[in-house]
Amino acid sequence: MHSFLILSLTIIIFFFLRLTYSILWIPRKTQLHFRRQGITGPRYRPFVGNAGEIRELAAAAVSRPMSGISHDILQRVDPRYGLWSVVHGRTFLFWFGTRARLAIAEPEMVKEVLLNTSSPAGTFERMEETPLVKYLLGDGLFRLRGARWAHHRRIISPAFNMERVKEWVPVMLGSTVRMLNKWEKENEGKAAFEIEVHKELHNFTADVISRVAFGSSFDEGRRIFQLQEEQMLNVSQALRQVYIPGFRFLPTKRNRRMWSIDKEIQKVLQNIIKPTSHKDHQCRNGKNCKYLLNLMKSARMHEREEERINNREIIEECKSFYFAGKETGANFLTWALILLAEHQEWQHRARQEVIQICGHQCSAAPRAEDLAKLNLVSKILHARLG
Ligand code: HEM
């Protein structure tokens, strides 16, 4: 009995000291380290760090209507940077739980971090995301690090070399023409009509990524896109809470929904990647290597074992590409169209340039070489005016 008590007490003291070390000692040491360099930040609170403030600031920002359209969107999408950089300077330290985050904004510093990263030899390793991100982006390129990242990158990169990207132009053109025809058909005979452009562009980029990366169409990926949209809401809500290790395994309402969405996405993807006589063209000797999906499927049976990837890894990469391929492009195009609608003089100039290169009513289908000649359009898309 006596020795049992001593053992229990030792264990309790050990865990107490360990907890004190990670939630008080390490944050204090980190703060002092940066303070000596003149870097400060919002006050650290044990366990939660600044998560509560981040959540409140974000909720307050989205509850206010946007005052007009402006590129200055930081206050809305991530108000903590705007607020804390005014108080503490452009470089500041803040806390997500017990994890320190250093916000940097000096271009030279940002460049150093972005360029000196990710490769196995890079100094700055990608931040370790919470495992929740897996439900949305998959356990693919976005999350992998070191040798596994380099391995997947080797398999996937050939799908995105410039020559291949140029081959996508007719496919993208086809999707664009189908979208425009649909708009015309749905609104035939109407003097004026409204289109929910954001939604339409989401369908458009979903169709493009399905075709160029997976050799299928929006209809085949439709269920994945729907499920990912719902998953995006669940994951972004969960990310606003402090991450408690193991919490994602508790059967809360949201966790159960996230599990079931993930399960269904995996099931649909299983079907898309499973071998079928007419679709499963293996990429061999440079043939049938057009689609990202084929490149990954071929890597399943690479002659060298260390170059192979398995079905689970392919599914995780597919999740990343379905999500990244649709969301980024659709939001980017929507924003560009909003700005063109706001600045009609630029809209007019951009239209003139397109007519000059592609002919009136785009009589000649634009080719990859033509796109390179669209100087003004390209400046608009890259926000490099003025
Ligand atoms: C306007 C459009 C886009 C923007 C602004 C954008 C932005 C980014 C950024 C900032 C990263 C780095 C993330 C990190 O390392 O943590 C990234 C990585 C990535 N993006 Fe995009 N992206 C865009 C379009 C796309 C599209 C269309 C695809 C898919 C076809 C895509 C697929 C990926 C992938 C797979 C990675 C991870 C690469 C790696 O780690 O090797 N992105 N993107």
Q: In 3D, which of 98, 83, 72 has the Cα closest to residue 41? A: 83
Q: Which residues, 6+ apart, have CB-to-CB distance to 341 below 8 Å?
A: 347
d(CA 254, CA 237): 9
- The atom number, within ligand 1, closest to the CA of 152 reads 41
Closest CA to ligand 1's atom 36? 142
d(CA 370, CA 378): 12
Strand ranges inside 22-170, DSSP E: 92-96, 99-103
Q: In this predicted structure, what is the pLDDT of residue 177? A: 92
- pLDDT interval class at 71 (50, 70, 90): confident
CB 281 within 8 A of CB 165: no
Q: In this predicted structure, what is the pLDDT of residue 275? A: 65
Query: Ligand 1 center to residue 213 CA distance, Å?
Result: 14
Q: Give the other-Cβ count within 10 Å of 135's Cβ.
A: 22
CB 225 within 8 A of CB 204: no
With a 6 Å cutoff on the Cβ, whether 321 touches ligand 1 is: yes
Of 64-68, 109-113, 319-323, the one with minimum mean pLDDT is: 64-68
Of 94-98, 188-192, 209-213, 296-300, the one with minimum mean pLDDT is: 296-300
With a 6 Å cutoff on the Cβ, whether 203 touches ligand 1 is: no
Query: Ligand 1 center to residue 362 CA distance, Å?
Result: 30
- The atom number, within ligand 1, closest to the CA of 213 reads 30
Strand ranges inside the chain, DSSP E: 92-96, 99-103
- pLDDT interval class at 386 (50, 70, 90): low
pTM of the model: 0.82
Q: In this predicted structure, what is the pLDDT of residue 323? A: 92
Q: In this predicted structure, what is the pLDDT of residue 259? A: 95
Q: Which of 160, 328, 332, 382 has most ligand 1 atoms within 8 Å of CB, for mutation?
A: 328
Radius of gyration of the chain (CA): 25
With a 6 Å cutoff on the Cβ, whether 8 touches ligand 1 is: no
d(CA 346, CA 350): 6
- The atom number, within ligand 1, closest to the CA of 117 reads 15
HSE-up of residue 307 (Cα within 13 Å, Cβ side): 11
With a 6 Å cutoff on the Cβ, whether 50 touches ligand 1 is: no
* Average pLDDT score, the chain: 88
CA angle (143, 265, 263) in 5-degree steps: 95
> Would you mind telling me the total number of residues written for the chain in this entry?
386
**Structural tokens at position 31:** 């703060």
Query: Ligand 1 center to residue 324 CA distance, Å?
Result: 6
d(CA 317, CA 291): 13
With a 6 Å cutoff on the Cβ, whether 332 touches ligand 1 is: yes
With a 6 Å cutoff on the Cβ, whether 160 touches ligand 1 is: no
Q: Which of 117, 139, 142, 152 has most ligand 1 atoms within 8 Å of CB, for mutation?
A: 142
Q: Which residues, 6+ apart, have CB-to-CB distance to 149 below 8 Å?
A: 118, 126, 141
Q: Which residues, 6+ apart, have CB-to-CB distance to 298 below 8 Å?
A: 282, 283, 284, 289
CA distances from 142 to 68, 136, 145, 273 (A): 34, 11, 9, 20
With a 6 Å cutoff on the Cβ, whether 291 touches ligand 1 is: no
Q: Mutual orientation of helices 218-239 and 253-273 as an angle, nearest 10°?
A: 150
With a 6 Å cutoff on the Cβ, whether 320 touches ligand 1 is: yes
With a 6 Å cutoff on the Cβ, whether 324 touches ligand 1 is: yes
With a 6 Å cutoff on the Cβ, whether 47 touches ligand 1 is: no
Element (H, E) at 125: none
With a 6 Å cutoff on the Cβ, whether 322 touches ligand 1 is: no
Whether the predicted pLDDT of 32 surpasses 60: yes
Strands 99-103 and 92-96: antiparallel
Q: In this predicted structure, what is the pLDDT of residue 196? A: 95
Q: In this predicted structure, what is the pLDDT of residue 119? A: 56
CA distances from 113 to 103, 110, 118, 126 (A): 12, 5, 10, 10
Q: In the predicted model, what is the mean pLDDT of residues 238-247?
A: 79
**Structural tokens at position 326:** 């649709």
* Complete domains list, the chain, with CATH: 2-115 (no CATH), 153-335 (1.10.630.10), 343-386 (no CATH)
Closest CA to ligand 1's atom 28? 325
